[in-house]
Each structure stands twice: as structure tokens, then as C-alpha cells.
Amino acid sequence: MSERDLTRPHETGRRIPPVAISETSTLVNQTGSWKYIMPRYQDGVAPCNAGCPVGIDIEGYMYLIGQGRLQDAADLLIRENPMPAVTGRVCHHPCEDSCNRASLDEAVAIHSVERRLGDMILAAPPPPAPERTRTETVAVIGSGPAGLSCACFLARFGYGVTVFEAAPEAGGMLRLGIPEYRLPRAILDRQIERIEAEGIEIRISTRIGTDVPWAVLDGFDAVFVAPGAHMGKDSRIEGAEGVPEIRPGLEFLKEVNAGGRPELGDHVIVVGGGNTAMDCARSALRLGADVTVLYRRTPREMPAIPQEARETKEEGVKFEFLAAPTAVEMEDGEFVGITCQRMELGPPDDSGRRRPVPIEGDVFSMKADTVLTAIGEDCDLSFLPDEVRTNWGLVEVEALGESTSAPVFAGGDAVDLPRSVADALGAGKRAAIGIDHYLRKEAGEDVGEVPLDDLRFAGGNVSAMRYAKDEDPIPREAPVNDVVTWDQMNPHHYRSVPRHEDHFHAGIDLRSAFGETNFGLSQKEAIEEAERCLNCGVCNRCELCLIFCPDMAISRREDGGFEIDMRYCKGCGLCAAECPRGAIVMTREGM
């Protein structure tokens, strides 16, 4: 048909426009040469990783579980966290508060998955101790989470490590301060045995400054100070001095955790709103007492882990908020209770929480047989030499735990950090990196500066794997160190899946039970929970970009990843728009 025929008016009066017809394929006529923007695979950082005080690649081990690689997932976890069976039970899991999945339905139960992997690790024999590659030795003061973490990573870096522990058994506050119903001693013992198997010597019943003078530590090339906070703060209750019925909560917990069962009477008041207060209340309940927690602020300001506070209430402990003890009440020389002051919330104080302010004239009495005070603890740092500067009872340190005296580093409760197991583990890891860098520099090695920004997960905690340049089991596509937020992801490819909740002991008699109450998840449930992970910011090879590309410019590589043929990509951005995880970005060509 001629051009005239093609453009001849039809019966409708409309003309058919000229149509360009190519006799060759797009292999010859490349279609992407006129674009000015282009897609690029770019892995970001999942917010759980950035929010983890330990510095764990959470998204990484979740990805490996989703691939059916459970052992690889466990290996990746233990490379960053030497105590996963512990943190899976007692960590306050801020990673879950950061989880993007909460914007879809519920956050992934990361702590439950970590606990299951941790128990799987403990069930296997420990690997051989790492090779001793350095001549230097390091002393660690304290075998709590900070001390054991630092010791573990130093051993992996090739150093000889000796841990000095004042108590008869290792574990620090993990053993002395956390009740067995939260952290069974068998779990803690196996976790410590595994850390010792890294080639670490632990000297128990050895208090620095008493059993061993500080001068003995001069024989080591570096020292890490993490003695833990074992001294309860003054109760500030008028007339409390010399009254045996008013006792520090931490002392009570140490007695109970050592197997003691002190007589408390029928009515116990616990003063405080932190984790120590919750542990005191639940332990007193198990000893047969009727327990009330007295807290001077509201539930919103309580520093205790929300789950711990919730479980405390569910077990039957009562709470009296906006009230503070002021004085002891005695009758005929016998302790009968305390006088309390009603409070109201005023402006925020230095902690960022609203300050409790007394309501003038509003006082009341509370009867009690025992009062346990849990309003905070301090560290005993009297053994430190003068050149190690302290401020308000804490060691002054730099980013990697360096004190004002070059060979001395510090972490855990001894420095200005949140007092949690996870923060202590992270501090120990950072100090190990700092000590390794310091000793290498002292040995004359050209080490430069520690690339902290590169070691951190998007400004969060550091990765020991990155520092040691260990092989990464996760396939990466042009990684960048930025957190991927929910608004950068495409939720339309996800469906709502209920979160698996931990299983608790049903019908337990709390008046005598100190056994573990939270049984966690089964392995099947933990795997299903890991599969709820959205793998935020990371290409997990779901193929949606390949499926949605209108120009067939995306193809799969031999290694399972994808590549974009820019000769045919028009820069339409459909792949980036459809990517569920925000792992594809649109950039100007050449940038």
C-alpha cells in the first residue's frame, strides 16, 4: 500500500499517521542512548543494624537464615557478638524499636531469632582458639559483658589476655545482678566457657587494688577497666541508716542469685523504676511477699525495659507512681513502713525526662516489712592511678575507650554510657579495636587512624568484621553507609504477617519459681520470624527489577546478582520505584 493509501481518509474521516517500521532488532538500534538519569544498585544500612549497641549485622544474618544458611547466620552473629544466647534473653533490643517492619505491621522479633541462634551456637563445641600472633599482653579488669567482650575480640586479634575478676565466679553483673528466671546460670556458664576457649585466662577472686596492686598491671602492655557498678546509691530516706529492713536492692539480688532465700516478711516495697527495681520486685514476689514498686515519675518515664516492666506487672507486682519515700516510720522501736511524698511532673531535667516535683502537704504512709532501694549504682574506681582522669565517678574516655593515660582503656558501667548489656558489649568491642590500634602504633607499625566512620553501621556501633577485614558472607552491591528509611521502600510488594511472640511458662507458681519463665521460639518459628525481615536497603535478589523492566535492560549475572545494560536502559526509573527494599537509586549519568 502506498503512502497515499495509508493517509487516505477512511469512512470515519480520520487519517492513519505515518508509522516508522524498523527491519532490524534493538541489538542494532540501541534504545538507551538518550537518557540523562540512570538506575544503580546500591545497598544501604538497615535501621536495625544502625540501632544495635553491639554493632551486629542483624539484616545480614536474617538474610542468611532466609537463604536456609543457618550455620552461616550463626557464624556471622558470633563474629560481632560473643554472647548471643545472653543478649537474646536480656537485651533491651533497641533494634526492634528501629525496625522498618513496624510501619507495615509489627517489628521483627529480632531478640527471639538471636536467642535461637545463640542457643544453637552453645549446643556445638567451641572452635579452636585463635592463633596467638602478637607478643603483647592485655589485662582486663572485670568479667562482665564489657570485660568479656573486650577480652574475646583481643584474643581474636592475636593477643594474650588475662581477665581479673573480684567475685568467686566470672560473669560480673550478668551473674550477680540478673535473676536466673531471666538468665539461667547454665546458659551463662556455657557462654563464658566458650569465651574462655578463645584462649583467655580468667583469674577469679582477684580484686585489683586489694588482692593485686595496680603496679602488677605494669607488666601488661595495655589495661581495660570494666569493674561494673556494684555500689548502691544512698536511699535518701530519712532515718534509714542502721535500719536492717531497708537494704540496697543490688545486695538483695546478689544474695538471691547466689542461692540465698532471705526472709522479707509479707509486704515489700521496691523503690525505683529501672531494671534492677524490676528484678528486685519479681525476686521478692518469688520469695512469697506482696510487692509494691514505688516510683517518683509516671510509667512513661520508667527506664526499665518495657517488656520487663510489663512482665513484672503481669506477675502480680503492684505499682505506685508519682510517689517518693521520705522517712522511716517506727513504732515502739520497730520498723513498720515509710512516709511517702506525692509528686507531680515539672520541666525536663538533664536526663530529658520531666522532673518530679513534690506536691506540698501531700504525704501518705505505706506499711512494709522490707524496703529494697534500687535507685542506681556507682562504680568503685578507687584502685585507679591519678593519671586516669575521672569525672562524676566515671572514667573519661575517647571514642575507642582511650583514657587520659595512654595504656589504660575503659568501658561498660565505668564510662558515660547507657547501662545495658548490649552497650557494655559494644564498649568492649570498641576498646579492643582501640587497644589493637594503640599497640600496633606503639610497635612502630604504620596504622594511620582508625576509620571509625567506615566501621560504624551508619553512625551506629562498630563492626569488628570490617575492622579485621574478614570475608563477608553477604553479597553486596555497591554498599553505602546510609540508613534506609521506610519512605525509601515500596511496601506494596509486602503482605502483613503476624509476629511470633515468645512462649512463656503457663500456670507457673511464682511464689517459688526461679527457673526460666520465657522459653523463646521454636526453631521453626524463629526461621519464620527471620523470613519476616524486609532486608531493608539490601538487594536480596527478589527479581522484581528484572520482571518490571520494560526494556529488558536488566539481566542476571552468573553470581546470582543483576546488571543493567545501559545501552538499552531509558532511565524510566521503574526498577527503582518497584524495588521493595530501596536498593536501587536513580542518579545522573556519569555521577
The shares of helix, strand and coil residues in the chain, as percent rounded to the nearest 5, are 30, 20, 50
The pLDDT, as a whole number, for residue 235 is 87
Report d(CA 234, CA 241) in Å as an integer.
10
Asked if residue 364 and residue 276 are part of one domain, the reply reads: yes
- Of the candidates 313, 314, 260, the residue with the CA atom closest to the CA atom of residue 287: 260
Domain boundary among 323, 344, 375: 375
Domain membership of residue 111 (yes or no) is yes
- If asked whether residues 405 and 499 sit together in one domain, one would say no
The pTM is what?
0.91
Task: Work out the average pLDDT over 346-364.
Answer: 90
Q: Region 376-401: what's the mean pLDDT?
A: 95
What does the pLDDT average to over 366-392? 95
Confidence of residue 439 (pLDDT cuts 50, 70, 90): very high
Residues 363 and 428 in one domain: no
pLDDT, residue 5, reads 47
Does residue 360 carry a pLDDT above 80? yes
Q: Tell me, what CATH number does 142's domain have?
A: 3.50.50.60
| Spatial contact of 195 and 151, defined as CB atoms under 8 Å apart | yes
pLDDT at residue 32, as a whole number: 66
**Is the model's pLDDT at 9 over the cut of 70?**
no
Residue 35 has pLDDT above 80, yes or no: no
pLDDT at 12: 52
pLDDT of 23 reads 65
288 and 389 share one domain: no
Examine the domain organization and report whether 154 and 143 are in the same domain.
yes
| 131 lies in some domain | no
C-alpha pair distances (Å), 544 with each of 239, 385, 433, 524: 71, 61, 40, 27
Q: Are residues 345 and 382 in the same domain?
A: no
Indicate whether 71 belongs to any domain: yes
Q: What is the CATH number of the domain that holds 80?
A: 1.10.1060
Measured over the CA atoms of residue 536, residue 538, residue 543 and residue 548, the dihedral's sign is: positive
Q: Are residues 267 and 176 in the same domain?
A: no
Mention every residue, 6+ apart, whose C-beta is less than 8 A from residue 352: none
Residues 324-330 have a mean pLDDT of 96
| Whether 159 contacts 66, CB under 8 Å | no
- 312, 345, 375 - which closes a domain: 375
Tell me the backbone φ, ψ of residue 52, rounded to 5 degrees: -85, 120
pLDDT tens column, 521-549: 999 999 999 999 999 999 989 999 999 99
Residue 16 has pLDDT above 80, yes or no: no
The answer, yes or no, to whether residue 311 has pLDDT greater than 50, is yes
d(CA 25, CA 460): 51
- Residue 4 domain-assigned (yes or no): no
Dihedral over alpha carbons 543, 549, 554, 560 (to 10 degrees): 0
Lowest mean pLDDT among 291-305, 318-332, 510-524: 510-524
Q: Are residues 272 and 362 in the same domain?
A: yes
Q: Do 97 and 51 form a contact (C-beta atoms < 8 A)?
A: yes
Same domain, 292 and 331: yes
Rounded to whole angstroms, the Cα distance separating 276 from 270 reads 10
Domain range enclosing 278: 258-375
Q: Look at the block and give the residue holding cell 515519675.
A: 297
- Considering its fold, how many domains does the chain have in total? 3
Residue 147 shares a structural domain with residue 215: yes
CA 470 from chain centre, in angstroms, equals 21
Distance CA 127, CA 464 (A): 18
pLDDT at 349: 85
d(CA 116, CA 522): 8
Backbone angles phi, psi at 120, to 5 degrees: -65, -40
- Is residue 204 domain-resident? yes
Instruction: Report if residue 282 sits inside a domain.
Output: yes
Average pLDDT, the chain: 92
The pLDDT assigned to 232 comes to: 85
CA distance 218 to 190: 32
Reported as a pLDDT band with limits 50, 70 and 90, residue 31 is low
- State whether 183 and 91 are in the same domain: no
Q: Within a domain: residue 567?
A: no
Last residue of a domain, one of 353, 375, 397: 375
Residue 488: how many CA atoms within 13 Å on its side-chain side?
22
pLDDT category, 508, cuts 50, 70, 90?
low
In a domain, 585, yes or no: no
Burial class, 218, CB count within 10 angstroms (exposed 0-12 / middle 13-18 / buried 19+)? exposed
d(CA 75, CA 474): 12
At residue 2, the pLDDT reads 45
Q: What is the pLDDT of residue 504?
A: 86
- pLDDT for 336: 97
Q: Do both 411 and 505 map to the same domain?
A: no
Helices 185-196/110-123 angle, 10° precision: 60
